[in-house]
Amino acid sequence: MRLFLFLAFVVVPIVEIGLFLQVGSYIGVPATLGLIILTAIAGTMLVRSQGIDVIRKVQSSADRGEMPVSALAQGLFVLIAGVLLLTPGFATDTLGFALLIPPVRELIGAKIWKLIEPNVVTSTSTQWSSTHTTGGRTHPGGTVIDAEAVEIDETAGNNAEKPGNTQRLQ
């Protein structure tokens, strides 16, 4: 973790400043600033469109009853790409644009999964259920008892039924 923080807060800014100086000396300061702004705008538009696509994939997986693990991982990579593209700099922009390429995201996801898979514990359970039909409706699992309930007012002294409180339970 310390190495990551060191890289994020010391090495990356030094690399970015060096790249700013080199690019600025070739194309000039105004063009360098324009290029930084242009990459931020283009990156934001790409992140937005790919983010919407990832949301659709998550919803379709959920609609099929599947766990949208892959789509959520893709969404995480798109989010990281957005952060990198909004961070001023050419190295971070390059990494951000690379994460917007789906095969690159899949490759990185596969490498990360290979590292964490030995530590993942999974379990399965079998749920026994049957389906019953009552009154034209299907009820999954268990036995359905069709009954009526009457609420009795205990404070009335004569255990009288409350009018209008008859309910049909299923």
Question: How far apart are alpha carbons 50 and 45 in whole angstroms?
Answer: 9
The model carries a pTM of: 0.65
| Phi, psi dihedrals of residue 137, rounded to the nearest 5° | -110, 150
Work out whether strand 137-140 and strand 147-149 pair parallel, antiparallel, or are unpaired: unpaired
Residue pLDDT, tens place only, 76-129? 999 999 999 988 899 999 999 999 999 999 999 889 889 888 887 766 555 544
Question: How far apart are alpha carbons 29 and 132 in whole angstroms?
Answer: 75
